[in-house]
Amino acid sequence: MANGVPLNWYLILSAILFGLGVAGFIYRRNIITVFMSIELMLNAVNLTFITFSYSFKQVDGHIFSFFVMVVAAAEAAVGLAIILTVFKNRETLMVDDVSSMKY
Amino acid sequence: MTALIFFIFAGIAVFCGINLVAQTHPIASALSLIGVMGSLAILYLQLGGEFIAAAQMIVYAGAIMVLFVFVIMLLNAGAEGALQTSRFVRYFGIVLLAAFLGLISFIIQSMLPRTEGVVFGLFQGGTAVDVGRKLFTIYLLPFEVTSVLILIAIVGAIVLARKEI
Amino acid sequence: MNFLILSLIKAAVVAFVLLTALAYLQWIERKVIAHIQLRVGPYRVGPHGLLQPLADVVKLITKEGVIPSHVNRVFYLMAPWVAVTLALISIAVIPFGPEIQIGPIKTWMQLTDLNIGILFVLAVSSVGVYGVALGGWASNNKYALLGGLRSSAQMISYELPLGLAVAAPLLLANTLSFRKMVEYQSGYWLGFIPRWNVIPEIFGFAVFLIAGFAETNRVPFDLPEAENELVAGFHTEYSSMKFAAFFMAEYANMVTVTAVATLLFLGGWTPPFPEPYSDAIPILVFLIGGLIAFYHGLQPARKMDKFTLPATGLVFLGIAAIFGVSLVPALAVLKAILMALFWFCGKIGILLFLFIWVRGTLPRFRYDQLMRFAWIFLFPLSVINLLVTSLVVALTSK
């Protein structure tokens, strides 16, 4: 290409990664893998933000992406702590087995 | 050269994404996610986001994923058992997913206006100086609020995960 | 195309020198620790054990590489590779000297200068935790798993004080690239005190070094991998080349940490005195070293030293002569290269000697003491250091 990679391809890649994240979220039964699919979705959204930041030639998209990363870190910490607590009580990591509030 | 790098690392990202969904053991999924994050960091570099690329590797791949790997090792999560949905549903789901993604790609390609190409080095505004300048002037309130959010997350994680004596 | 060939040549030179230096760093460590413990160290293989690293390399390569049957093969084979690759990558952004001009080629003595050089080194050391964690987990062994988990928890806990200690000189110099950081530290106050960052940032330097000890799993923080704890920790099940890879990764991490400490705090390749006086120092150092070697060669303690010590003396006098010859104005390029390399490698050498000295002297921390030290003492100290630095910068800038 004389003038570089078309911007739309980055958006298509982001859509593919987001779709894979949704597929993992729906298919998988291990709660940690489900959580990782959520992180994959967040990464895909980060790529979209940075792509549009390039398109408008402003740095605000980078800052949004930075905040997404920070919130993902906080969410991962608390979510994994909750998973640890659920594992301590129910002794299973499969989503299907934690299907009722009463143990 | 830009197109070559894009294809290589986009291919690695998609391959690792598929690996994340297809592997049965959570550790293999975690390492595939680290592969996705690494290749996305290279793509951010191509788009001029050098600070975000470094932050992605330090924060996401170097801290958050280490947390995931720790929890998987601590809980000794084994490989998943066989799925209970029927084979037809699973394969049809993959076909549907591919069709959906193809539809989205077609829409993106045809409806969005022709944008200019990505040339590495065209956007010089993604340095740490620019990000810092905006972060501490215009976006100061979200910055301070997220620092309180992280404090809440730290306290919450410690309270939830400690041993009850 | 010119840039590509130049980079390839630089990469080949740096790789060759680095790998040889890592092997001989192990020799130096064994000799220094031996002399601290009043013994001799490697002595027989070659004069004064100088061929010992070569013998070790041959042994490690030809040893049978046993892969136990109960390990997870993919991760078991991947872990040392990841550790070594990431440990060697961070040398790419370390500058060894200023810009030099050899004939028509003008280049910096550095593989590449990134705008985010310091963040790159931090990122590589963050991802380097996986080599240890995976190595411990893939071995499918209680001790290895515990050692791997403890070691990775230690590494990520000490990354925080490391990053905050790095942030203080960044505030002073207002840049993230190593080149500009060294340029900020050139020049002298009052004509003779160098403008190194260690003088305003002495606490930052101390925190960085302590965190560097913990990042590279060195004594006193080497509980996860010591031989008499946890049966050698995360590299219990590794043999021959894979074990050598972990070892090499540890030494490469040490070199990286000391190189970054030199660049950020000790002024990189700038000499501590102004230019005309500091040119005499390398000549004096090697001259005195050669004379001492000759003197001891006259009354050697052991029979073989009658030949080796005078030979060493001759080598040192030869190096002093090279430094002296390079002062001729016609060989200015040689002088620039040699002086920069002397000061940079000299400072790294002093810090590495400190690492080895501490290894031979201090006992190791218990694991909970180690974590307590990081979170309750080192982290608040680095935060306070950063706060005071930023206060001073904010009040004194226009």
Residue of B4, B14, B36, B47 for testing the chain A interface, max A β-carbons within 10 Å = B47
Q: B136 to chain C, minimum CA–CA distance in Å?
A: 14
pLDDT of residue B83: 66
Q: Across the interface, do C156 and B57 touch by the CB < 8 Å criterion?
A: no
> For the segment B83-130, what is each residue's pLDDT rounded down to a tens digit?
667 778 778 888 888 898 888 888 888 877 776 778 888 888 888 888
Q: C345 to chain B, minimum CA–CA distance in Å?
A: 28
Q: Say yes or no: C126 contacts chain B, CB-CB below 8 A.
A: yes
Closest partner residue to A84 (CB to CB) among B71, B109, B120 is B71
Nearest residue of C to residue B28 by CA position? C75
The interaxial angle of helices C129-138 and B65-75, nearest 10 deg, is 10
- The secondary structure of chain A as a DSSP string is -TT-EEHHHHHHHHHHHHHHHHHHHHH--BHHHHHHHHHHHHHHHHHHHHHHHHHHT-SHHHHHHHHHHHHHHHHHHHHHHHHHHHHHHH---BGGG--SS--
Q: What is the band of B165 on the pLDDT scale with cuts at 50, 70, 90?
A: low
Residue of B32, B33, B39, B50 for testing the chain C interface, max C β-carbons within 10 Å = B50
Nearest residue of B to residue A52 by CA position? B47
Q: Across the interface, do B40 and A47 touch by the CB < 8 Å criterion?
A: yes
The answer, yes or no, to whether residue B159 has pLDDT greater than 80, is: yes
The answer, yes or no, to whether residue B52 has pLDDT greater than 90, is: yes
d(CA C38, CA C45): 20
Q: State mean pLDDT over C235-264.
A: 87
Nearest 5°: phi and psi at C94? -90, 120
Q: Which two tokens stand for residue B69?
A: 């790997």
> For the segment B9-46, what is each residue's pLDDT rounded down to a tens digit?
999 999 999 999 888 889 999 999 999 999 999 999 99
Contact yes or no for B29/B18 (Cβ under 8 A):
no
Domain residue limits, chain B: 1-82, 127-165
Strand partners, C101: C106
pLDDT of residue B62: 92
- Partners of A23 on chain B (C-beta within 8 Å) are 21, 93, 97
d(CA C274, CA C329): 18
How many CB atoms neighbour CB C348 within 10 A? 22
Q: Across the interface, do B157 and A43 touch by the CB < 8 Å criterion?
A: no
Domain residue limits, chain A: 29-94
User: Cα dist. B17→B22, B24, B97, C40 in Å?
Assistant: 9, 13, 14, 55
Cβ within 8 Å of residue C106, ≥6 positions away: C99, C100
pLDDT of residue C1: 67
- Partners of A8 on chain B (C-beta within 8 Å) are 108-109, 112, 115
Q: Across the interface, do C137 and B50 touch by the CB < 8 Å criterion?
A: no
Per CATH, which fold does A29-94 belong to? Helix Hairpins (1.10.287)
Q: What is the band of C262 on the pLDDT scale with cuts at 50, 70, 90?
A: very high
Q: State mean pLDDT over C369-390.
A: 93
> For the segment B55-85, what is each residue's pLDDT rounded down to a tens digit?
999 999 999 999 999 999 888 877 776 666 7
The interface pTM score, or ipTM, of the predicted complex is 0.91
Q: What is the band of C299 on the pLDDT scale with cuts at 50, 70, 90?
A: confident
User: Looking at B154-163, C153-162, C235-244, C373-382, which range is the least confident one?
Assistant: C235-244
Closest partner residue to B57 (CB to CB) among C123, C134, C153 is C123
pLDDT of residue A70: 94
- The secondary structure of C97-136 as a DSSP string is EEEEEETTEEEEESS---TTHHHHHHHHHHHTHHHHHHHH
d(CA B56, CA B36): 11
Closest partner residue to A4 (CB to CB) among B51, B119, B135 is B119
The SS3 assignment for C188 reads strand
Q: Which residues 160-179 of C are in CB contact (within 8 Å) with B?
A: 176
Contact yes or no for C230/C145 (Cβ under 8 A):
no
pLDDT of residue B18: 92
Q: B42 to chain A, minimum CA–CA distance in Å?
A: 11
Which range of A36-50, C89-103, C186-200 scores highest in mean pLDDT? It is A36-50
- Partners of B115 on chain A (C-beta within 8 Å) are 6-8, 55
Q: State mean pLDDT over A34-42.
A: 95
Nearest residue of B to residue A49 by CA position? B44
**C-alpha dihedral sign at B61, B67, B69, B70:** positive
Cβ within 8 Å of residue B29, ≥6 positions away: A33, A36, B19, B20, B21, B23
> For the segment C35-94, what is each residue's pLDDT rounded down to a tens digit?
999 998 888 887 788 888 888 888 888 888 788 888 888 888 888 889 999 999 988 889
pLDDT of residue C318: 87
Q: State mean pLDDT over B127-142.
A: 91
d(CA C248, CA C31): 18
Strand partners, C107: C100
Q: Across the interface, do B47 and A81 touch by the CB < 8 Å criterion?
A: no
* A to B contact (≥3 Cβ pairs closer than 8 Å): yes
Q: A86 to chain B, minimum CA–CA distance in Å?
A: 10
Contact yes or no for A2/A54 (Cβ under 8 A):
no
pLDDT of residue C162: 94
Closest partner residue to A32 (CB to CB) among B13, B63, B68 is B68
Q: What share of chain C is helix, strand, coil (3-state, %, to 5)?
A: 70, 5, 25
Residue of B23, B25, B27, B64 for testing the chain C interface, max C β-carbons within 10 Å = B27
pLDDT of residue A62: 94
Q: Across the interface, do C119 and B73 touch by the CB < 8 Å criterion?
A: no
Q: A49 to chain B, minimum CA–CA distance in Å?
A: 10
Contact yes or no for C153/C368 (Cβ under 8 A):
no
Closest partner residue to B63 (CB to CB) among C115, C126, C148 is C126
Q: What is the band of A46 on the pLDDT scale with cuts at 50, 70, 90?
A: very high
Nearest to C134 by CA among C152, C121, C122: C152
Q: B61 to chain C, minimum CA–CA distance in Å?
A: 7
**Biggest CA pair distance of chain A:** 63
Q: Which residues 71-110 of B are in CB contact (within 8 Å) with C?
A: 73-74
Q: What is the band of C193 on the pLDDT scale with cuts at 50, 70, 90?
A: confident
Q: Which chains pack against C, by 3+ Cβ pairs within 8 A?
A: B
The answer, yes or no, to whether residue C344 has pLDDT greater than 80, is: yes
pLDDT of residue C224: 72
Q: Across the interface, do B70 and C119 touch by the CB < 8 Å criterion?
A: no
d(CA B151, CA A31): 25
The answer, yes or no, to whether residue C161 has pLDDT greater than 60, is: yes
Q: Which residues 25-64 of B are in CB contact (within 8 Å) with C?
A: 27, 31, 34, 50-51, 53-55, 57-58, 61-63
Q: State mean pLDDT over C113-123.
A: 90
Mean pLDDT (chain C, rounded): 86
pLDDT of residue A1: 46
Closest partner residue to C156 (CB to CB) among B31, B50, B63 is B63
Q: Which chains pack against B, by 3+ Cβ pairs within 8 A?
A: A, C
d(CA C186, CA C99): 14
Q: Which two tokens stand for residue C28?
A: 């130096």
Q: Rounded to two decimals, what is the model's pTM?
A: 0.91
CATH class given for the domain over B1-82: mainly alpha
The SS3 assignment for C189 reads strand
Q: Which chains pack against A, by 3+ Cβ pairs within 8 A?
A: B
The answer, yes or no, to whether residue A2 has pLDDT greater than 70, is: no
Q: Across the interface, do A54 and B123 touch by the CB < 8 Å criterion?
A: yes
Does C161 sit behind a cis peptide bond, omega within 30 degrees of 0 on the bond before it? no
The answer, yes or no, to whether residue C359 has pLDDT greater than 50, is: yes
